[in-house]
Structure 1
Amino acid sequence: MQFHLLAAAYLFFKHRWKFLLGVLVAVIVLMGVTLAIGKIYQNLDRDPDRGAIAMPNGALGESFATPIYLDQGWNVADTLWYYNTTQGSALIPYDFFIALEQVDSEILFRDNQHMDLFRYLPQKPTFFNPDGLPVGFTKEYYRQMNYVGFTCAACHTGQVNYQGQAIRIDGAPAKADMVSFLLALEKALVQTLADEAKRHRFNERVLALRHDFMDADQVQDALHHWTTKIELYNRINHSELEYAYARLDAFGRIYNRVLQYVLDKGQLRGILLELLNDNDQPLLTAAQVDHALDAINDTIIGDDEFLLIVERLMSSAPGAPALDEQSMYLIRDALFNEPNAPVSYPFLWDITHSDYVQWNGLAGNAAVGPLGRNAGEVIGVFSILDWSAQPPGFSLSAFLTGQRKKLKHIDFTSSIDLINLQRLEAQLKSLTSPVWPEAVLGEIDRPKAARGKRIYAKYCQACHELIERDAWDRMVIAKMSDINLVGTDPTMAENSVNYTGRSGNFKYTYQDTGVGPLVLEDTAPVIQILTSATTGVVSSADPDKFLFRRWLDWLYTLGLSFFENDVKYSVKAGQYRPDTTTRPYDSLLAYKARSLNGIWATAPYLHNGSVPTLYDLLLPAKRPGDPENGEYRPQQFLVGSREFDPQKVGFKTEGYEGFVFRTDLKGNFNNGHEYAAGRTPQPDGTVLPALDPTQRDELLEFLKTL
């Protein structure tokens, strides 16, 4: 039998090798043509203003002329492609976002004045953005439906205003208040459902677009569905700590989305039966739990099923528990973790030259690390996760996530666009840090800066190395500092390691760590679960493409990740707790120091945005017993303004209706990193004397040059 098979194979290849070679050549040519067309398309949007517009009556009392751009290595087309390239985010149907009105108003929700209130940057219509959506909002097409979603630019494009002149800075931290935006979106959707006149206008606008909806009933069904989804997302991710502008607990929210989608029916049933009410009585009976979970998939609870369970738990129908909001929050707390550690949006220049990224160095940047990191990010910003349970059989994602011996395995189909994530990462290679614009913000005192450079070498350079901003071979080495050494607010680092959740179908699978493989238990660190989930996503091809192209694109993306990524695996630098077999993620209980190129454009400072200016960062935090007449970091200040203070190097902190940032709340602490104040030891243990006012001024002048 084996002889006959070998003979047949020999004859096939003998007579078909020319055909196979021709197919291979055709595939290579097709891919080349596709890539060439893509490159041409990428350069089609050439609006000279890069879509930016003036705002004569902007939010928070601001007004500014059409923003200018600094030379950061990108041309007009590069910027506009970055702003508008989808990554697979699907917040709500696109037509809904176009048609939706604000609460108690007939003005559109997407109106520039309204979006500016959340500090999203307004834009005019351009080729890639025909409806003039703000920076970082774009149209996503997935499985015959158009959605509005976020791009990288929504959180990583900054603006500095000074005396009426605005400067857009690509890759800089955004001022965006995503939480308030999502809460306002929820209220607008809810009111549209409830208000007959508003609903009628909404229906007319959506149907007039003639895109994805054919009649009013279809619009109303979808409106109810998406309103419920946004409501659920906001409930799951409610935090007692307000984020306000320029911050987001992205990892906390990514963690919660993953926990929602990996949960299995048995685990959920066990959790619901264990819950007690205020009288220490079972919150739900077994019959009520079984009713809520009737006909739900055993292996994985899909998005629609999760919404159905919530609806059943809150229903007042016979046999249903009719749970109130307080009881639903009890369930929320049992399933998810509070995302209460908001951090500043990091800047993106030099990210492709960095060995480790994220504030606590969580993500290695070697090999396919960037692809996994970006896939995790899109999970957090509303990708559609069409994950499903599949019968036994070979699956690459099941193999790589350790599910090959499971009775059923999770298929990780999603809207996440891997090839665009790879292209966006490649685009960031050419982005350089912004140079202080002396023509707008004032000239740098070079002799003073030279004196400041010597102070920098002594006080800062052990952690914040100096690099050439445009050197092609530059490498940004993350210098990790244990949270107890650097002394800054520990909440983000602690949450990343200590948060746990139910592992679903990943239970009893092997998870690689830096100290060896671990077996995931029923309850596991969310970081382990997230790693498995992103591995599954990265190993799944795009379902929106026909079979042949789907796998060619996937192979091309993986190939680029390996062969175009110059970052190789390396041991972390700095002082941190080593990972051990009993504590495999202890190295994450640290924060990262990195090159400070462009630091002037990235206020507020520290990882949690608790210090408004570089001037304030050089001061000590006030401690009990400190004299009242000393100079300290502000204990509270306003955030939200884009108006720049070139003397203190940061944004305006008073004189407008912004958000009051309080530093006495956990997650907002402004202590630590007090090297210039003579309180935090250097890496070698030396405590240098506090800088005097003249020295601080000189160091600040040098920081402007970076």
Structure 2
Amino acid sequence: MKLPKIKLKIWHGFLLLILLFIIPPLFIMLAQIWEVSDSDPDRGAITVRQDVFGDSAGKIVYLDQNWKPEQSLWFYTTTQGSNLLPYDFFLVLEQAGKPELFRSDENINRYRYLPQKKTSSNPDALPVGFVKDNYLSKNYVGFTCAACHTGQINFKGTGMRIDGGPASADMAGFLKGLTDAMVAVRDKPDVQKRFVQAVIKLGAYSNEADVITDIKTYTLRLTSYNIINHSPVDYGYARLDAFGRIYNRTLEHLLNRQQIEEVLGNILTEDEVKTALAGIGQDISSADRDKIIERVATSAKNIVKLRQELFIKADAPVSYPFLWDIAQHDYVQWNGLGANGGLGPLGRNTGEVIGVFGSLDWHESKRFSVTSLISGQGWTKKVIEFDSSINTQNLRRIENQLTELQSPLWPQEILGKLDQTRIKRGEKLFANYCVSCHAEIDRSSSQRRVVAHMSKLEEVGTDPTMANNSIKYEGYSGILRNQYVGAGVGDVLLDKKAPIAALLTKATLGVVTTPDADKSFIRRWSEWLFNIIKAFFSNEIKDSNKHGNYNPDTTMTPYSSLQAYKGRSLNGIWATGPYLHNGSVPTLYDLLLPATCPSDQKDAECRPEKFLVGSREFDVEKVGLKSTGYDGFTFDTRLNGNRNTGHEYGTKPAKEPGDLPVLTKEQRLDLLEYLKNQ
């Protein structure tokens, strides 16, 4: 019996729907299940002899954090869309001033990234968190989450790798050294000759002219990036102004032809502006930005002028957050910027990739667009195409794997047995002094949740620079002008200049809701649909109100709540020094002391005004990293952004009824022992 034509058309349409949007996602899911894994039992770790900081790790161990070797290695080597430098460039690049490879284990370790041996998922022995990425048929070296969120602690020759722990990395120093190496290639004929020959030998480039063109392009990109993000406060090791750099990367890529002409008109002559924009259309691509910067950057002075006109100060370095329980949080980031419900994790991680050299090629067009509808731009008229290298599929998968990560337990067989008597006394002190902001959780429970306790700046008293920067800065809206972004208390209209928090929110939403333009049509749309549905419905965290004592957002001040800092559960806190959001206190013992010593008490203990960072050697007594007695980076807490004030609970005499008394030294040690056990 034949089906009626109308039913036949419906049936055909149904089959087409299955072919386009059901079967491809199933193949994607099966491909991920069958993905070849790297199960090297050492997880790629290599030992390091005594280094420039006096550290050594003749043995590397992993603590039990509920990840198998293949999960750690997958986390280290899964690309997220970061395009720092052409891949072959990184493989053969020499250090500035000497012929040793820039990526040598010794040099990588000096910047406090973690060297790795060759494994099946890492055939070129890249450091932890460095991977090969491909965008528009070109290979790059880029960063993954693991570069900033994998730690190592050494104790008497044993190195303990901490998955999801804060890295000790000096990213700013690394990028400065990388730039110096590229400048040497560009400017020194003998270095350039060796470099070009080595690159061509690897096969990605077929001729010398193309290599030299890219040498100039990427040297300029790195140079301008460093100038734009220059901070009067040196970051040193174990921290970075990630927000400032993400914001600046976003602002750089939002400008359209009209607005960049206006910006340049404020710093250049009319003739210089015409020269800078010659041949540039309304859409500003990555290649166009390179041309403009090359024409503007006739001197470093001009780039400085551009920085002052267009960008914000990246002068609020913070510690790299630790990632265990991150997927179980209601709000993330030091100031609670990121709501973790729904698609929040995808947006947060998209912003992170923008900050670590994701390629962005956004442009305007007029057409029908589902993406435009979802991101609030309407069915047609002007729409923004958010084409980029950012791999939202892998971002979703990385976030999903983090749900299984657990905090590390104090390894008594390495660091010494814990005093159970002190722990019991410390537990009572924790209940009185700490638990109101730092709730206790079961680290291994699949039902655990972390409610961030937000404390406004006036209450917590810690350095305000990072929190203040997040609400005081505005930037040119460029291609996003006249669009709307939700802010929790209503929509914010993006004017010529808009709050950077609003611009970042809108930009990341655009990326998340745009299929990957670097893939075929069917694969692009099927993967996009699969990832959006999977990310939204697999996330057990739902949007909720913030907890704590903070200034609430209002229609007049929609970002007031960001002027606060987060208190979270302290499981694994022993492995995350230095402390406070900006890393201004070297050990947990120091954190239990007042910021300054009372003038009338000669023998009083207080937090160090200056200390050293860079060593990975663990201080068992004070719980933190070694901060004296070696040639490291001097952390000066007197500088703005570096203040070690605040969070002085239990360190000062009670002033009002109900205030807790000052902790004695024995009580501090009891509390410290309890924190070791978390």
TM-score normalised to structure 1 length: 0.93
How has the CA–CA distance of structure 1 residues 520 and 69 changed in structure 2, closer, same or farther, with 3 Å as cutoff?
Answer: same
Distance of aligned partners of 1:447 and 1:292 in 2 relative to their CA distance in 1, 3 Å threshold: same
8 Å contact kept, 1:409–1:505: no
Residue pairs, 1:149-188, within 5 angstroms: 149-188=142-181
User: Residues 48, 582 of structure 1: CA spacing in aligned structure 2 closer, same or farther, 3 A cutoff?
Assistant: same
1:67-121 per-residue CA deviation (whole Å, 9 max, x = no partner) reads 1001110101011001100001110011000010111111111000000000000
- The 5 A counterparts of 1:193-272 are 193-210=186-203, 212-272=204-264
Corresponding residue SS for 1:65: strand
Could you report, residue by residue, the CA deviation over 1:354-374 in whole angstroms, capped at 9, with x for unpaired residues? 000000000000000000000
1:134 & 1:306 partners in 2: Cα distance?
A: 30
1:70 alignment partner, one of 35, 57, 63: 63
AA aligned opposite 2:121? F
1:430 to 379, 394, 404: 404
Q: Aligned AA for 1:522?
A: K
Give the CA deviation at 1:24. Answer: 1.4
1:319 aligned partner: none
The equivalences for 1:456-535 within 5 A come to 456-535=430-509
Trace 1:328-339 onto structure 2 (pairs within 5 A). Answer: 328-339=303-314
In structure 2, what is the equivalent of residue 308 of structure 1?
A: 291
Alpha-carbon distance between aligned partners in 2 of 1:245 and 1:595, rounded to the nearest angstrom: 24
**What is the CA distance between 1:608 and its match in structure 2?**
0.2
Distance in structure 1 (CA, Å) of the matches to 2:513 and 2:472: 27
Q: Name the stretch that deviates more: 616-625 or 400-409.
A: 400-409
**Equivalent position SS for 1:271:** helix
Alignment of 1:353-502 (within 5 A): 353-390=328-365, 392-404=366-378, 408-502=382-476
Measure the CA separation in 2 of the matches of 1:494 and 1:623.
27
Structural mapping, 1:138-153, within 5 Å: 138-153=131-146
CA distance in 2, matches of 1:252, 1:600: 28
Amino acid at match of 1:294: A
Matched, 1:697 2:672: no
Letter in 2 for 1:697: L
Change (3 A) 1:644 1:26: same
- Provide the alpha-carbon RMSD of the alignment: 2.0
1:288 counterpart residue number:
272
The reply to whether residue 606 of structure 1 matches residue 580 of structure 2 is yes
Separation of aligned partners in 2, 1:693 and 1:380: 43
Return the offset for 1:517.
1.1
Q: Is the 8 A contact 2:654 2:661 kept in 1?
A: no
8 Å contact kept, 1:511–1:528: yes
**392-401 vs 461-470, greater mean Cα deviation:** 392-401
State whether residues 244 and 315 of structure 2, in contact with CA within 8 Å, keep that contact through their aligned partners in structure 1.
yes
Residue 34 of structure 1: how far off its partner (Å): 3.5
TM-superposed deviation, 1:19? 7.3
Whole-Å Cα distance in 2 between the matches of residues 552 and 679 of structure 1?
A: 62
Secondary structure class of the residue paired with 1:139:
strand
Query: Which SS does the other structure have where 1:134 is aligned?
Result: coil
Tell me whether 198-207 or 112-121 shows the greater mean CA deviation.
Answer: 198-207
Counterpart secondary structure, 1:61: coil
**Residue 417 of structure 2 aligns to a residue in which SS?**
coil
Which residue number in structure 1 is paired with residue 123 of structure 2? 130
C-alpha separation between the residues in 1 aligned to 2:76 and 2:52? 22
DSSP-derived class of the 1:416 partner: coil
Residue 192, structure 1, aligned to residue 149, structure 2? no
Distance 1:680 1:580 in 2: 34
Tell me the distance in 2 between the aligned counterparts of 1:592 and 1:605: 13
Deviation at 1:221, TM superposition (A): 1.2
Identify the residue that residue 55 of structure 1 maps to in structure 2.
48
1:302 and 1:19 map into 2 onto residues whose CA distance is 38
Q: What amino acid is aligned across from residue 233 of structure 1 in structure 2?
A: Y
In the TM superposition, residue 228 of structure 1 has moved relative to its aligned partner by 1.1
Counterpart of 1:695, as a letter, is Q
SS in 1 for 2:384: strand
Counterpart CA distance in 2 for 1:351 and 1:102 is: 37
Q: Supply the distance in 2 between the matched residues of 1:414 and 1:463 (Cα, whole angstroms).
A: 39
> Residues 313 and 476 from structure 1, CA distance in 2 versus in 1: closer, same or farther, beyond 3 angstroms?
same
Give the partner amino acid of 1:226: Y
Question: What residue in structure 2 maps to residue 688 of structure 1?
Answer: 660
| 8 Å Cα contact 1:59-1:116 kept in structure 2 | no
Once the two structures are superposed, residues 174-213 of structure 1 have per-residue CA deviations (whole angstroms, 9 ceiling, x without a partner) of: 0000000000000000101122221122122211211x21
Which whole-Å CA distance do the structure 1 matches of 2:75 and 2:515 have between them?
23
What is the identity, as a one-letter code, of the residue corresponding to 1:465? A
Distance 1:626 1:576, change over 3 A: farther
Query: Matches of 2:531 and 2:4 in 1, distance apart?
Result: 33
What is the CA distance between 1:407 and its match in structure 2? Answer: 6.1
What is the CA–CA distance in structure 1 between the aligned matches of 2:297 and 2:234, rounded to whole Å?
A: 27
Q: TM-score, normalised by structure 2?
A: 0.96
Q: Which amino acid aligns with 1:79?
A: S
Measure, in 2, the Cα distance between the counterparts of 1:533 and 1:286: 31
Stretch moving more, 176-185 or 285-294: 285-294
Distance 1:698 1:10 in 2: 81
1:581 matched to 2:555:
yes
Count of residue pairs brought into register by the alignment? 676
